[in-house]
């Protein structure tokens, strides 16, 4: 209560009422963490879980890069290598990036819209606690006789149907992840639509809230489609149906259509919240309102809409009619327009700003630059005629890693550094944060940039061995990979130091240029906030005047 | 205030859950038939190839012999099926609109009875809708005794309204192992 500073007085008044019962955290580990319905605790659980999965999925990537360090088979059997590529993707997509974003949503959305908690706290508990079981099931397949899934995360039949009995575990774990995501999404939509503080109109909401609102709709629309697709795989595998079995009159290509109808919105599910975080951080450290707030909202909505009509660009080589290829090519390239709007708005936000380069800002700027590289290689892939050559090569691997690692993961790091002082009440070590940023940025480019050349030279993806002419670039890529993996340990060190050992206390506002409701509560954010709703005025929100 | 803010949650959650359930239904019950319809319209896959009970009324070799189209015959065997399978003739010049017959052979290299089921396709897809099958070994499950070799006919015709620019068609089969008679039922 005492840490509310003078500039926060308008809201501090509302807040003060509830202060006596603020920090009544439940006693005992079980009550505090397992039975918790507190959005901040659940957010922390999500984030810790995602970080754990990030390192499990990351260690699988280290196995992949170690095997690919030089030509020939050195370390692992080809089948295990395939299990590593498949599991790495499943763990990173469903275990690391998505839960991390839900963790951010849990922590920040109630704070940003002035709500006391998520709309459905008990469901919130359930949607988190399903996840450890889902991933235990998924990871346990690695220790089964028939091994883990090895057909790639896309689970294309007929190859995926050759997985042994452990396939059932994979399908059910995907079901559980889907249920968790759908419940999380419903909760987020209900919170945003029903729980906003008076005065927090839709077009006053921070962009992180906006991007998550749209992401949540995408989740509800497509996670059930994935559930349906894997259910059909399950019945094809175990119950004699022939949805995707050509011998029984089915069609394996149909799976690809259904999968990518889910899969393309899924990639935006991973990146839209990243857009939101960057749109929070850049204005803070540029000390300017976000440029083109309304345009950002509409661009996000456009990207979400377009994501439903571009899926077949993942499958240009299956033998589509020319008209189909052209439609999906043009629709895909159209996405560059709203995305371009966003990139230009971010650059314009920084233009003539009083910029400082704290760690969150560095990661955000790194995102803008490197995500754009990934976006441009995406445009190259969208061109049907060229895609026939790029398809299933390392060029594709380079493309989606550029948008997911220096894209989604960098913004997760940026957001973590940005809000860590709010969460923990302590400042992290700026020096080590910057070391983490520079090592990550250099190594991520050494890791992924050579893969563009490998792909253009014809190296296929998902192979444990390769022709000798690819040796040099693979060695560079592996060295970059090891360095990137090691750099992330610094992040763990910074977080542990910040939370448990840092002596530098954070102020409520934390960053001099920060605006928004989350900076009006003390640091660390008390267990219960906004039990009495604040009244929001235009001047309190990051983008200033109304639109 | 708090209660008011939480007021509509129940209805909103029901609506959103409804969307999720509907999208599951869309994936499982709508997309597969939609895909089949799409394939029929565009001539992709076997869904696009017509079947007829008999040859066209009044069709005869002479009537439309003025125009012929070259039909190539292609054959593939899935690796799970140890059969030799192929056409007797690689291609035929077929008068447009007239009934035609092609012969395929299959040879079971195993000692035991083995059942197979063939899927088919016509290329280019834009011409597939003009290709009509009257009788085909691919319409039913084929059981070959151990070591048996059998010749199997396919009767078809090409509709007279075949676009002028199509000079060649390819009829392609892939034979799959089929141990389950019910699977064959589902297939057709």
Q: Is A302 a catalytic residue?
A: no
> Active site residue: A180, A191, A377, A440, which one?
A180
Task: Decide if A321 and B5 are in contact by the 8 Å CB cutoff.
Answer: no
Task: Decide if B17 and A221 are in contact by the 8 Å CB cutoff.
Answer: no
Phi-psi category of residue A208: left, alpha or beta, with phi > 0 → left and psi -120 to 50 → alpha: alpha
pLDDT of B188 reads 40
Quick one: tokens of B101? 């017959």
> Active site residue: A22, A257, A461, A527, which one?
A461
pLDDT of A546 reads 52
Q: Is A86 a catalytic residue?
A: no
Answer whether B187's CB lies under 8 Å from B90's CB.
no
- Closest Cα in chain A, distance from residue B78 (Å): 9
Q: Is A27 a catalytic residue?
A: no
Answer whether A526's CB lies under 8 Å from A123's CB.
no
Mean pLDDT of A75-79: 94
- Closest Cα in chain B, distance from residue A22 (Å): 17
Give me the percent of chain A exceeding a pLDDT of 70: 95
Mean pLDDT of A470-494: 97
Q: Name the residue among B187, B151, B153 with its Cα closest to residue B171.
A: B153
pLDDT of B171 > 70? The answer is yes
pLDDT of A509 > 80? The answer is yes
Picking from A221, A240, A257, the nearest residue to B35 by CB comes out as: A257
Calpha distance B153→A57 (Å, rounded): 54
Q: Which of the residue ranges A163-167, A426-430, A439-443, B178-182 would you say has the lowest mean pLDDT?
A: B178-182
Q: Is A268 a catalytic residue?
A: yes
Q: Which residues of B touch A261 (CB under 8 A)?
A: 27, 31
Listed in sequence order, the residues at least 6 apart from A104 whose beta carbon sits closer than 8 Å to its beta carbon are A43, A47, A208, A273, A277, A412, A415, A419
Task: Decide if B183 and A248 are in contact by the 8 Å CB cutoff.
Answer: yes
Listed in sequence order, the residues at least 6 apart from A519 whose beta carbon sits closer than 8 Å to its beta carbon are A8, A422, A508, A509, A510, A511
> Active site residue: A39, A40, A314, A515, which one?
A314
pLDDT of B149 > 70? The answer is yes
Calpha distance A386→A403 (Å, rounded): 20
Calpha distance A224→A234 (Å, rounded): 15
Pairing type for strands B91-95 and B99-108 reads unpaired
Q: What's the pLDDT band for A256 if we cut at 50, 70, 90? A: very high
Task: Decide if B183 and A228 are in contact by the 8 Å CB cutoff.
Answer: no
Of residues B64 and A405, more confidence is placed in: A405
Of residues A322 and A370, more confidence is placed in: A370
pLDDT of A14 > 50? The answer is no
Nearest CA in chain A to B34: A254
Answer whether A130's CB lies under 8 Å from A180's CB.
yes
pLDDT of A113 > 90? The answer is yes
pLDDT of A129 reads 96
pLDDT of B66 reads 73
- Closest Cα in chain A, distance from residue B109 (Å): 19
Nearest CA in chain A to B31: A258
Task: Decide if A247 and B13 are in contact by the 8 Å CB cutoff.
Answer: no
- Closest Cα in chain A, distance from residue B68 (Å): 25
- Give me the long-range contacts of A75-81 (CB less than 8 A, separation at least 24): A76/A464, A78/A464, A78/A465, A79/A147, A79/A150, A80/A147, A81/A464
Give the count of beta carbons closer than 10 Å to the beta carbon of residue A233.
25
Q: Is A180 a catalytic residue?
A: yes
Give the count of beta carbons closer than 10 Å to the beta carbon of residue A318.
14
Mean pLDDT of A503-529: 91
pLDDT of B6 > 70? The answer is no
Interface test with A, best of B25, B27, B38 (most A CBs within 10 A): B27
pLDDT of A23 > 70? The answer is no
Task: Decide if A246 and B126 are in contact by the 8 Å CB cutoff.
Answer: no
Q: Is A79 a catalytic residue?
A: no
Q: Is A160 a catalytic residue?
A: no
C-alpha angle B7-B13-B14 in degrees, rounded to nearest 5: 110
Three-state SS for A12-23 is HHHHHCCHHHCC
Nearest CA in chain A to B139: A249
Q: Name the residue among A146, A176, A188 with its Cα closest to residue A164.
A: A146
pLDDT of A2 reads 39
Helix (H) or strand (E) holding A139: helix A121-140
pLDDT of A319 reads 82
pLDDT of A26 > 50? The answer is yes
Picking from B5, B23, B39, the nearest residue to A225 by CB comes out as: B23
Mean pLDDT of B85-104: 90
Picking from A224, A246, A533, the nearest residue to B119 by CB comes out as: A246
Calpha distance A355→A361 (Å, rounded): 9
Mean pLDDT of A9-30: 55
Give me the percent of chain A exceeding a pLDDT of 90: 85
pLDDT of B187 reads 46
pLDDT of B53 reads 65
> Active site residue: A39, A204, A313, A391, which one?
A313
pLDDT of A541 > 90? The answer is no
pLDDT of B4 > 70? The answer is no
Task: Decide if B5 and A258 are in contact by the 8 Å CB cutoff.
Answer: no
Total beta-carbon pairs less than 8 A apart between chain A and chain B: 120
- Closest Cα in chain B, distance from residue A361 (Å): 35
pLDDT of B46 > 60? The answer is yes
Q: Which residues of A touch B39 (CB under 8 A)?
A: 251
> Active site residue: A342, A399, A436, A528, which one?
A342
State pLDDT tens for residues A219-251. 999 999 999 999 999 999 999 888 998 777 788
> What one-character DSSP code corresponds to residue B9?
H
Q: Is B175 helix (H, G, I), strand (E, B) or coil?
A: strand
pLDDT of A350 reads 96
pLDDT of A545 reads 59
pLDDT of B7 > 70? The answer is no
Picking from B16, B28, B119, the nearest residue to A232 by CB comes out as: B28
How many angstroms separate the Cα of A472 from the Cα of each of A20, A76, A462, A463, A468?
A: 64, 20, 18, 16, 9
Helix (H) or strand (E) holding B150: strand B149-158
Task: Decide if A189 and B16 are in contact by the 8 Å CB cutoff.
Answer: yes
- CA distance from start to end of chain A: 33
Task: Decide if B186 and A248 are in contact by the 8 Å CB cutoff.
Answer: yes
State pLDDT tens for residues A319-341. 888 888 999 999 999 999 999 99
Q: What's the pLDDT band for A10 if we cut at 50, 70, 90? A: very low
State pLDDT tens for residues A453-471. 999 999 999 999 999 999 9
pLDDT of B140 > 50? The answer is yes
State pLDDT tens for residues A260-300. 999 999 999 999 999 999 999 999 999 999 999 999 999 99
Average pLDDT, chain A: 92
Nearest CA in chain A to B18: A220
């Amino acid at each position: 209560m005492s840490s509310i500073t003078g500039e926060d007085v308008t809201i501090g008044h509302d807040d003060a009422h509830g202060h006596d019962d603020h920090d009544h955290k439940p006693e005992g580990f079980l009550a505090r963490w397992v039975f918790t319905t507190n959005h901040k605790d659940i957010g922390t659980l999500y984030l810790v879980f995602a970080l754990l999965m990030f390192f499990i999925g990351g260690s699988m990537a280290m196995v992949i890069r170690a095997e690919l360090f030089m030509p020939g088979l050195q370390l692992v059997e080809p089948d295990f290598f395939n299990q590593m590529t498949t599991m790495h993707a499943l763990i990173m997509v469903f275990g690391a990036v998505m839960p991390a974003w839900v963790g951010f949503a849990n922590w920040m959305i109630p704070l940003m819209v002035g709500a006391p908690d998520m709309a459905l706290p008990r469901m919130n508990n359930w949607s988190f606690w399903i996840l450890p079981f889902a991933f235990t099931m998924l990871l346990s397949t690695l220790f089964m006789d028939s091994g883990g899934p090895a057909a790639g995360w896309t689970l294309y039949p007929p190859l995926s149907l050759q997985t042994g009995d452990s396939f059932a575990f994979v399908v059910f774990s995907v079901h559980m992840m889907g249920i968790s995501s759908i419940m999380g999404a419903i909760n987020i939509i209900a919170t945003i639509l029903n729980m906003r503080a008076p005065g927090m109109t839709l077009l006053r909401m921070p962009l992180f809230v906006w991007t998550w609102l749209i992401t949540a709709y995408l989740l509800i629309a497509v996670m059930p489609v994935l559930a349906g697709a894997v259910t059909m795989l399950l019945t094809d595998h175990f119950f004699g149906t022939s949805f995707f079995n050509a011998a029984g009159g089915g069609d394996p290509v149909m799976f690809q259509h259904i999968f990518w109808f889910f899969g393309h919105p899924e990639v935006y599910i991973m990146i839209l919240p990243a857009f939101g975080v960057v749109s929070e951080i850049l204005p803070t450290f540029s000390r300017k309102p976000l440029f083109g707030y309304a345009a950002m909202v509409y661009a996000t909505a456009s990207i979400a809409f377009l994501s439903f009509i571009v899926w077949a660009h993942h499958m240009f080589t299956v033998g589509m009619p020319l008209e189909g290829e052209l439609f999906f090519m043009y629709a895909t390239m159209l996405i560059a327009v709203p995305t371009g709007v966003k990139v230009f708005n971010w650059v314009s936000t920084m233009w003539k700003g009083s910029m400082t380069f704290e760690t969150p800002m560095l990661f955000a700027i790194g995102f803008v630059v490197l995500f754009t590289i990934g976006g441009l290689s995406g445009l190259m892939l969208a061109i049907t005629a060229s895609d026939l050559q790029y398809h299933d090569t390392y060029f594709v691997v380079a493309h989606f890693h550029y948008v997911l690692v220096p894209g989604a993961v960098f913004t997760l790091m940026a957001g973590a550094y940005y809000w860590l002082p709010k969460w923990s009440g302590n400042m992290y070590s700026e020096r080590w944060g910057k070391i983490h940023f520079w090592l990550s940025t250099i190594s991520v480019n050494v890791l992924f940039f050579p893969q563009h050349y490998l792909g253009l030279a014809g190296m296929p993806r998902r192979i444990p061995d390769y022709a000798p002419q690819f040796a040099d670039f693979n060695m560079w890529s592996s060295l970059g990979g090891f360095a990137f993996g090691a750099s992330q340990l610094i992040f763990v060190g910074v977080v542990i130091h910040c939370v448990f050992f840092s002596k530098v206390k954070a102020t409520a506002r934390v960053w001099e240029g920060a605006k928004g409701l989350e900076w009006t509560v003390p640091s660390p954010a008390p267990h219960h906030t906004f039990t009495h709703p604040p009244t929001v005025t235009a001047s309190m929100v990051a983008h200033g005047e109304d639109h | 205030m708090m209660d008011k803010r939480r007021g509509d949650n129940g209805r909103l959650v029901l609506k959103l859950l409804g969307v999720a359930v509907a999208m599951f239904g869309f994936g499982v019950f709508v997309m597969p038939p939609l895909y089949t319809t799409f394939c029929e319209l565009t001539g992709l896959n076997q869904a696009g190839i017509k079947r007829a009970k008999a040859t066209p009324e009044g069709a005869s070799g002479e009537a439309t012999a003025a125009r012929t189209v070259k039909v190539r015959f292609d054959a593939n065997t899935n690796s799970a099926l140890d059969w030799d399978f192929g056409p007797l003739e690689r291609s035929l010049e077929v008068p447009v609109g007239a009934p035609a017959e092609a012969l395929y052979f299959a040879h079971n290299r195993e000692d035991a009875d083995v059942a197979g089921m063939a899927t088919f396709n016509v290329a280019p897809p834009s011409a597939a809708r003009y290709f009509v099958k009257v009788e085909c070994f691919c319409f039913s499950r084929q059981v070959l005794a151990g070591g048996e070799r059998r010749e199997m006919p396919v009767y078809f015709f090409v509709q007279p309204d075949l676009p002028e620019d199509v000079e060649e068609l390819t009829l392609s089969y892939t034979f799959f192992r089929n141990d389950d008679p019910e699977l064959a039922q589902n297939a057709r």
